[in-house]
Amino acid sequence: MAEGIISDLVAKSLVSLGKPAFKEVVSWWGARDDLKKLENTMTFIQARVCDAERRQEGENSELIKLWLRKLKQVLYRADDLFDHVLTLDRQNMRVERSTLAKVSILFSKSGPFFNNRKLAHEIKSIRKELDAIKSDMDGLNLSANLVAGLPLPMERLISNRQTASFVKVEDVIGRENDKNIIIGMLFDPKFDDGKRITVIPIVGFGGLGKTTLAQLIFNDEIIRKHFHLTEWVCVPEVGDQNTIMRRVYQSFTGDKDSDRLLVGQIKSGIQKSIKDKKYLLVLDDIWDESRDSWLDLLNLLGCGASGSRVIVTTRSANVAKVVGTTEAHNLGLLTTEESWNLFKQFSFNLKQEESNPILTIFAKEIVDSCGNVPLAIRVVGGLLYSVNSEKEWQRIRNARLSKTKLKEDNNIMQVLKLSYDYLSPPLKQCFAYCSLFPKDYSYYKNHLVRFWMAQGYFDPSSSEIGEQYYMELLGRNLFHNPEFSEEGNIIFCEMHDLVHDLAQDIAGEEMKLLVEPSNLITTDGVMHVSVEVEWLENAGWEAPVSLLAARKLRSLRLFSFDWINNTSIIKASSLEMMVLKFQCLRVLNLMGMKIFVVPNTVGKLRHLRYLNLAWNDRIRSIPDDVTRLENLQTRTSVVASYWISCQEVLANWPT
């Protein structure tokens, strides 16, 4: 899991340790000292885990990754413990106040006397494991109290991400219409409307060619003649407006030694350079969403002549709203024909296409897997340009091209990952969770938000936060193609294949989308699984042993594309076995499995937040034991076709 997530898990653990429910637990069996030691150890680790996350690809990277993996597993175990304690606390609050009831529950296996003894032992065990992790940390030379910032790979990428204004026109295919639209906006006086400056945002996810389009416009001869000044500035930093101002100053004045100047001198230098001049300024790769910072820069740029223009390229629709004075130009994918022409330009040697028709067949399939994304096509084309072997072309064709290429050359991954790196830790988890769904999936907002809420990625008391997270992913172009209701609300979005590959790469071993669950080789660290279940005639699907070994699963999502057969897709005995094995589940999605019976053992899933039984038409009732599901966050988490027969059970559900 990527930067920021484990430090967030540590922070959540410390919050849980401070809750009043734990004061009752530590009063039993001498656990008070263990709890205090546990808190001290976590605090010590928290001060250094941020540095460990930043250094996952630097010196001692393999040791650091191993250390973080061990830490994460213990943190998840601690989270289960904390959740159990809070659940018991809610149960005890509802206990009848009679003396008989108190005595009965006190000495039962579900009562506080028994559970506190068991939980105190678990606290001691977790504390010892964290002590060992703390001891292992000493050899990693981690810095304490590191201020959160860009991960090291991000810093290296930014240093290599400096863009220039030049582009070879013959290398660009499929952007002529976009170019003409933007040039029209540069010349059209209606965009002035009394303003001294017009800001035109170009928006799209990484790899679409925003910078390339801006370069085409910037270097057009008509543009050069129209403006007195044309300058290009690459500004990938976030939250450092002074650096941006210095770069703008350097571009307009040619003074590269601006570090010696005060901010006031920088500002006056910019104003002096552009005063009463009609200029075009390109700000490439803007990330800062702070309106105050932008307004400060805009005030400086406003002293140019009427008709001055600023073009901003960004991946974030939020940035476009903040900086733009016009509607953003959303850059789309290439057409199939444009993708093919671009690929030919970068992959085929002279007349290679004509002389080898077999390569042409392979090539068209390879281009199709690039998803019409220019950067993907260019990088893959560059790889194949020096490959003459049909066997090698076939090997690349047969592989999942995008992921194969990302492993061979991190260029695409790094570019796409920039959008991910700037997400908050909870949003990073939300994005990675999207890897559990297949490509071309429609991510319905209401459903996805409930999945996230069940995992604790945001406070369940406010579903608005989850909707904000969803819109944030859309705004950063990690989702695209939104579908709107008649009222103008977003119903669902899609995810581009390359972005989906990024989500799977980020999720790593923790989240698995399985078409063949028997291919699950190792279960260490697997926390979330989505399984495609195939209907077998006269025999229901049975969970393989490899899947049942993943005892710490927090999500189990079963899905099937068989909508014709009416018999149960999954064996009842196998479903019951999975429920018994996966006691840490927060999400259990059995939608469309055509089951007849809901196992009584579902009532033992004390951590369960989300249960979906939709499209199981033959369910006639829900067992009474499901009323034990203390943590289900909403009753709409349970959906059954025969709703009336379930009303009595639902009426007894804990609120």
* Per-residue model confidence (pLDDT) at position 389: 77
Radius of gyration of the chain (CA): 29
Of 275 and 399, the structure prediction assigns the larger pLDDT to: 275
pLDDT greater than 60 at residue 647:
no
CA proximity to 412, closest of 207, 209, 568: 207
Q: Which of 17-26, 251-260, 454-463, 642-651 has the lowest mean pLDDT?
A: 642-651
- Sheet with 443-444, strands from edge to edge, namely 443-444, 490-494, 480-484
CA proximity to 568, closest of 525, 524, 523, 618: 618
Residue 392 is encoded by which pair of tokens?
Answer: 């090698």
pLDDT greater than 80 at residue 633:
no
- CA 540 remoteness from chain centre: 34
* Per-residue model confidence (pLDDT) at position 460: 86
pLDDT greater than 70 at residue 644:
no
Task: Answer for the pair 577, 548: CB distance below 8 angstroms, yes or no.
Answer: yes
For 42-72, the pLDDT digits (tens) are 888 888 888 888 777 666 678 888 899 899 9
* Per-residue model confidence (pLDDT) at position 523: 73
* Per-residue model confidence (pLDDT) at position 592: 84
For 185-200, the pLDDT digits (tens) are 999 888 876 666 899 9
pLDDT greater than 90 at residue 391:
no
pLDDT greater than 90 at residue 624:
no
User: What is the distance between the alpha carbons of residues 425 and 508, in angstroms, rounded to a whole number?
Assistant: 16
* Per-residue model confidence (pLDDT) at position 104: 47
**Dihedral angle, C-alpha 574, 576, 578, 581, nearest 10 °:** -130
* Per-residue model confidence (pLDDT) at position 195: 65
Kindly report the backbone phi and psi dihedral angles of residue 575, in degrees, each rounded to the nearest multiple of 5, phi listed first.
-60, -45
Residues linked to residue 280 through DSSP beta bridges, in sequence order? 230, 309
For 349-368, the pLDDT digits (tens) are 655 555 678 888 888 888 88
Helix/strand/coil for 530: strand
For 514-568, the pLDDT digits (tens) are 877 766 766 778 999 999 887 776 678 888 888 999 999 999 999 887 655 667 7
pLDDT greater than 90 at residue 84:
no
pLDDT greater than 60 at residue 149:
no
pLDDT greater than 80 at residue 316:
yes
* Per-residue model confidence (pLDDT) at position 533: 86
pLDDT greater than 80 at residue 487:
yes
Please name the residue that has the structure tokens 């495609």: 532
What mean pLDDT do residues 227-234 have?
A: 93
Whole-number average pLDDT of the chain: 80
Q: How confident is the model at residue 394 (pLDDT cuts 50, 70, 90)?
A: confident
Secondary structure letter of residue 292 according to DSSP:
H
pLDDT more than 70, % of the chain = 78
pLDDT greater than 90 at residue 257:
no
Q: How confident is the model at residue 402 (pLDDT cuts 50, 70, 90)?
A: very low
pLDDT greater than 70 at residue 415:
no
- Environment class of 439 (CB within 10 Å of its CB; exposed 0-12, middle 13-18, buried 19+): middle
Cα distances from 516 to residues 275, 530, 531, 547, 595, in angstroms, run 66, 11, 8, 10, 21
Of 111 and 409, the structure prediction assigns the larger pLDDT to: 111
Q: How confident is the model at residue 155 (pLDDT cuts 50, 70, 90)?
A: very low
pLDDT greater than 60 at residue 444:
yes
User: What is the distance between the alpha carbons of residues 63 and 138, in angstroms, rounded to a whole number?
Assistant: 12
* Domains of the chain (ranges, CATH numbers): 5-149 (no CATH), 159-330 (3.40.50.300), 336-413 (no CATH), 423-504 (1.10.10), 509-651 (3.80.10)
CA atoms within 13 A on the CB side of 1: 30
* Per-residue model confidence (pLDDT) at position 534: 78
Task: Answer for the pair 294, 320: CB distance below 8 angstroms, yes or no.
Answer: no
Q: Rounded to 5 degrees, what angle do the CA atoms 263, 264, 266 make?
A: 65
pLDDT greater than 70 at residue 115:
no
Secondary structure letter of residue 197 according to DSSP:
E
Amino acid at 283: L
Kindly report the backbone phi and psi dihedral angles of residue 199, in degrees, each rounded to the nearest multiple of 5, phi listed first.
-110, 120
Tally of CB atoms within 10 A around 157:
19
pLDDT greater than 80 at residue 103:
no
Task: Answer for the pair 323, 201: CB distance below 8 angstroms, yes or no.
Answer: yes
Of 415 and 502, the structure prediction assigns the larger pLDDT to: 502
* Per-residue model confidence (pLDDT) at position 581: 94
Q: How confident is the model at residue 105 (pLDDT cuts 50, 70, 90)?
A: very low
DSSP 347-397: HPPTTHHHH-HHHHHHHHHHHHHTTT-HHHHHHHHHHHHT---HHHHHHHH
Q: How confident is the model at residue 238 (pLDDT cuts 50, 70, 90)?
A: low
